[in-house]
Structure 1
Amino acid sequence: MASLVVIKIGGNVIDDPTALKRFLTAFAGLSGAKVLIHGGGKVATQVATKLGIETTMVEGRRITDQPMLDVVTMVYGGLVNKQIVAKLQALDINAIGLTGADGGTILAKKRPVKDIDYGMVGDIEEVDSGQIQFFLRQDLTPVFAPITYNTAGDLLNTNADTMASAIAVDMAAHNDVTLVYCFEKKGVLKDPADDDSVINELTPDLYAEYKTAGTINKGMIPKLDNAFKALEKGVTKVIICHANEVAEAVRQGAGTTLKMT
């Protein structure tokens, strides 16, 4: 079974040109097939402010009304995505910039309103792994922006961590998949104030203990929930690491590795 690395890059790395260039150079140096999923950083909020569009966040999640959807589509699917693709081309990686709507690769449905109306936010229903495999067979490196679509033809803002997990799970039927979440920390930390307090390995039982103790909290919880679900559904390995250490992490030398036992 062929190896595939699915990498999600986000956090402050997207906002820092130097850090992003360093990450993309390391990403380009990885051998074999790979897929990149990126977040949007703070650029969407900055552009929305310039356009007089208010940004509303609830528990760290963006409320996406139609004006904000227009902004995130322009920023994530346009500006950020194409900047990354251009930089990868300069590093001799033949990248192709995509949203979930392109090639019908990622179908979603609008999140139902419960306690909170998130607006035009999509929950993933289906990934067309055959289409992604087609791109890879053409020696193209897919670079996904966190935008999906639904059967009515609407674009939807979709969490990039969830998108990375969904792609990794679906591709695991055809590949030996390593899923890597890269950001500005060295991994999952025992002490958020100490960047060197990396938890090298994390199992479901240990994860539950750290959550109960409050060691792991806030935004790291949905990231890890997605990661463990990916392992349960066939992904071989999940790593959480610093963007600077992605190459070393894939070679089993950095970050936090998640295991089922």
Structure 2
Amino acid sequence: MTKPRIVVKWGGSLQNNGTSIADDIAALWREHHITVVHGGSRDIDDTIGELGLPRRTLTAPDGMVTRYTDAPTLTALTMALRGRTQARIVAQLAARGVTAVGLSGMDGGLVRTRRKAAIRAVVGTGVRVVRDNLAGRITGVDTRLLDAIHTAGMVPLVCPPGITAEGEPTNVDADRMACAVAAAWRADRLLLLTDAPGVLADREDPASVIGSLTRDDAEELLPRLGGGMRMKVAAALEALDNGAARVQVCDGRIDEPVSRALAGGGTLIGKELGAP
């Protein structure tokens, strides 16, 4: 019997619930092919601060906020994600009998990118062009390394950065990386674990979780979303358009977050309302 393919996006804001997430993956991994894509926003901010670097962001004209990644920041980001976040997750899973393999998008050309040579950012009341930001747009995912790791009975963990055809590392949003991996790997389910119970109809009411959204409904809702949720839903739309079967935005702060998401928790986004 073919095992379901599950991509779990383990958000950096969920560091305090790492034990529950690791417990759940350990309970599920033998019956599922699970690929973990993770960020590490807290570890990145801590590392940047320890290195004395400024923490800067860029706001696009459409309101999307991203990390301003110059060369020193990219170095700090890579140190944090590989040396802190990923090392911690590998150790947590190993303690539960799960053999995990830590990767960045650069390893084996896993996540290919094209550097954004210039981006427009809002500064004050105007817009200026930023050219030293080492951010990339994902152009492809080579899933052979993921398949090889699963064939060996292990769990791959993937984090930014990605790599260009010229061998240049570029920062990419971890939610978008998870969505690109899920689409290319033809995942049966993509779970975006976050610090909210799902997509909310009312941002001030945590009980207003929207159980399911069609792709078109999600696109219509997108401009009214704020913060990281806007990025997650935008990335979910990209995943659906590129081959992912189903995307769920779900609560990563609870016990058994993966199992409960697979049982229907959070917000399911599909091409049709109520898509399984």
State TM-score, norm by structure 1: 0.90
Structure 2 residue runs of 5 or longer lacking an equivalent are: 60-64, 122-129
Corresponding position: 1:50 with 2:82: no
Equivalents in 2 of 1:52, 1:74: separation in Å?
A: 14
Q: Which moves more between the two structures, 163-172 or 116-125?
A: 116-125
Displacement of 1:11? 4.5
**8 Å contact kept, 2:13–2:40:** no
SS at match of 1:187: coil
Determine the structure 1 residue equivalent to 2:161.
147
What is the letter of the counterpart of residue 24 of structure 2? A
Equivalents in 1 of 2:12, 2:142: separation in Å?
A: 27
Q: Deviations over 1:61-113 (max 9, x none)?
A: 11111111110010012211111111111111110000012122112121220
SS at match of 2:205: coil
Corresponding position: 1:250 with 2:259: no
Equivalents in 1 of 2:161, 2:219: separation in Å?
A: 31
Identity of aligned residues (%): 28
SS at match of 1:226: helix
Q: Deviations over 1:11-70 (max 9, x none)?
A: 4213x2xx1111121122223110001111222122212221111112331111111111
Determine the structure 2 residue equivalent to 1:3.
4
Q: How many residues align?
A: 252
Equivalence map 1:1-261=2 (5 Å) = 2-14=3-15, 16=16, 19-30=17-28, 31-59=31-59, 60-116=65-121, 117=130, 119-172=133-186, 176-211=187-222, 214=224, 216-243=225-252, 244=254, 245-252=257-264, 254-261=265-272
Equivalents in 1 of 2:72, 2:84: separation in Å?
A: 17
Q: Which moves more between the two structures, 187-196 or 148-157?
A: 148-157
SS at match of 1:64: coil
Equivalents in 2 of 1:211, 1:130: separation in Å?
A: 33
Q: Kindly tell me: are residues 153 and 111 of structure 1, through their superposed partners in 2, closer, same or farther at Cα, counting changes over 3 Å?
A: same
Structure 1 residue runs of 5 or longer lacking an equivalent are: none
Displacement of 1:222? 2.6
What is the letter of the counterpart of residue 189 of structure 1? L
Equivalents in 2 of 1:61, 1:119: separation in Å?
A: 10
Displacement of 1:2? 4.4
What is the letter of the counterpart of residue 139 of structure 2? E
Equivalents in 2 of 1:122, 1:114: separation in Å?
A: 11
**8 Å contact kept, 1:11–1:184:** no
State TM-score, norm by structure 2: 0.85
CA root-mean-square deviation: 1.8
Equivalents in 1 of 2:237, 2:18: separation in Å?
A: 27
Determine the structure 1 residue equivalent to 2:124.
none
Equivalents in 1 of 2:39, 2:45: separation in Å?
A: 13
Displacement of 1:234? 2.2
SS at match of 1:189: coil
**8 Å contact kept, 2:219–2:234:** no
Displacement of 1:209? 4.6
**8 Å contact kept, 1:110–1:156:** yes
**8 Å contact kept, 1:169–1:235:** yes
